[in-house]
Chains A and B, each alone.
Chain A
Amino acid sequence: MTAVRTGNTQAKRDRRNGRNAGRGRAEAVTMVVAGVVAFPLFWMVLTAIKPEDEVLSADPKPWTLRPTFDSFVRALTVQNFGRYFLNSVIVALAVVLLSMLVAFLAAAALTRFRFRGRTTMLIMLLVVQMVPVEALTVPLFFLMRSVGQSVPAFGLNHLGSLVLVHLAFSLPFAIWMLRGFVAAVPKELEEAATLDGASRFRFLWRVLFPLVAPGLVATSVLSFIHAWNDFLFAKTFIISAAENQTLPLALQVFVRPDQNDWGAIMAGATLMTIPVLVFFVFVQRRLVSGLAGSVKG
């Protein structure tokens, strides 16, 4: 009896040890993969703080003993990088604020009201996300050109044109995702607010808006990234106004046919990545649950 029990415990312990060994292996693999995935980012920052002779060395070392901010200084001063940075911030913030406002109203309408054509609109929102925005560069180029003839601020060579297109492209997904957050607010709350004499408008801003705020933050990240990362439209719309270029294009300035200034390019890439990383880490948890929610419906 005792022997059986010990044997049993022994088997259990063996199994546990086996599982621990397996888990140890899995964790080792995980760490190697994490290292490989993070490596390009490490290399980007490292190159940015290396002195120029080490960057141009044919025998690159994975460390530096003489860290310097020279490359950052070159990136920020020589090519007017600060100005491009500011332009990118302006475009991204304008897109985030406008798209959140418009998407919140639309999501409230699509979730809180029953009306004819509602399902059709929801399907359209999904379909519209599949339209390759890059294919629309040609008509949008002409559209912005004619808009610019009456309202220059929203025409070619102006930041307004970029705000408009990114607003349009980030809206469908923003509405789609916010819908889930609005739907999670119990219907009884609206009834209670109405009974207390709150108007629809008041309910919308005083009750619904604060409750959906976490969802707004998660959604805003995707709108932000969309506008921040854009290369194509900045390249197409901002043709001759160098002072209105955005970061992705500024990075290309350092790429020269003869000799790339890799230090400055990596410093620029680092500066460009930091805001997105900060934004991401900030909303990481909400983003994951938001994505999971939007996938599961």
Chain B
Amino acid sequence: MPEPMMREATSARRPWRQRSLVQLTLVRFREFLREPEAVFWTFVFPVLLAVGLGIAFRNKPADAVVVGVVTGTASGDSLATRLAASPALRVERMSDTTAARALRTGEVALVATAGAAGGIEYRFDDTRPEGRSARFTVDEAVQRGAGRTDPVRVSERRVQEKGSRYIDFVVPGLLGMNIMAGGIWGLGFAIVEARRRNLLKRLVSTPMPRAEYLASFLFSRFVFLLLEVGMILGCSMLLFGVPVRGSLLQLLAVCFIAALSFGGLGLLIASRAKTTEGVSGLMNLAMMPMWVLSGVFFSSSNFPAVAQPFIQALPLTATNNALRATMLQGAGWAAVMPSLAIVAAWGIGCFVVALRIFRWR
């Protein structure tokens, strides 16, 4: 028999750091922070993405519309001169063949040709927004130059409000996408990797409480979540002035519930798979439709009405709806409750099934 005096410290007087839940959670941090790629994709990438999108879709003062005018005839030259006087237009003088090519490649939004009988022909692609707006801008200049007067007097007031720009739309979407990816990748990959390496089996051959192993993933997710949300929100508030109109506490609560729910989904995806290739396929299968359908980069209302019940029931759609309502509309608890209920239902359902079918060996 082993000497009893060789045994040390019973759990009752064990320092907190030596408790298994603390140790398991520390392992999660260590493994994550020692994987530079993971740090990049989780923290740096979403910020870069937000910055990139913010710059690409920044609201700029309306550019002058570029139009081509076929010159070389007297009526053509005169048309070019008249149009060039309008501040809303930039006129490119060109031959008929050059004009056709410029229109095709999008260098000009519209080509105007003066006809023999004093008429003017507009050539443009009516499926392109620039083409349609160029047609009205050019026509306005032509008709007004010819002396048209408006029967109704109108006035304009220009409004550019924070909260309705593209960057304002996309930041909550990126936040939701990141929470989803963190939960699914963070749990799914690490668990399957541990199973593949026989590490899960080794762990359950010790007295380790299994619930603590799974809990360590959720605890570490929560800590990373605070950092992720802080990074993305902080950067987009500083750089683009993206607003948080609702309560910050409510926003965090939405993030936490979503992180729990996607953690459950990640656990479910990882519950049986034995290879990392297998689980990657499952993860993509789960995430891909939501990237497209759930209103990350563009509104999910673009999809046909018949698909809407399905799309609205997706956890990422519900998460994004709750995030946008809280950030952009300043909605209160009552307004986000239906979305949160969907998110929570997914989470509970996934956890229940995952724990039932989980393969520890």
Chain A bound to chain B:
no
Interface residues, chain B, with chain A CB atoms under 8 Å away: none
